[in-house]
Amino acid sequence: MKEIVLEVDDSFGETYQGTYTFSGITWGKYTQIMKKHTVTNQGVVYTDELKMNADLILATLKSQPQTTPVTMETLTSENPEKGIPPMLGAKLLECACKVSGLDRTDFFRDSSLLPQKQP
């Protein structure tokens, strides 16, 4: 599988500075992530996009700086003191999708293809 190497300068602070290496995931892993964060209740599909994106980043992230700034907690935190800066998170997700051959929109299930609840 191919790899993507992302070099992050000190724009987001010293904690995040360094080299991040991403490696593609398999269809099986992609499907597990989708299922883990998608629930159907009475014909309505609920997807926790934040956790799904975080899992995708973590599944593809093979190495990061020794400070280990990327964790499930930092990716999902709403606290500015503990969370990943928004633009860094977007770049990490872009790398995770690209290395796995996914367009960002591909990662979300097309709800129009799911069985619809009849009135």
Torsion of the alpha carbons at 10, 11, 16 and 19, rounded to the nearest 10: -70
Identify whether the C-beta of residue 11 lies closer than 8 Å to the C-beta of residue 107: no
pTM for the structure as a whole: 0.83
The DSSP result for 11-52, as a single string, is GG-GGG-EEEEEE---HHHHHHHHHHTEEEETTEEEE-HHHH
The full set of domain ranges for the chain reads 3-104
3-104 has which CATH code? Answer: 3.30.2220
* Share of residues in the chain with pLDDT > 90 (%): 73
pLDDT digits (tens, 9 = 90+) for 65-108: 998 999 999 999 999 999 999 999 999 999 999 998 876 555 45
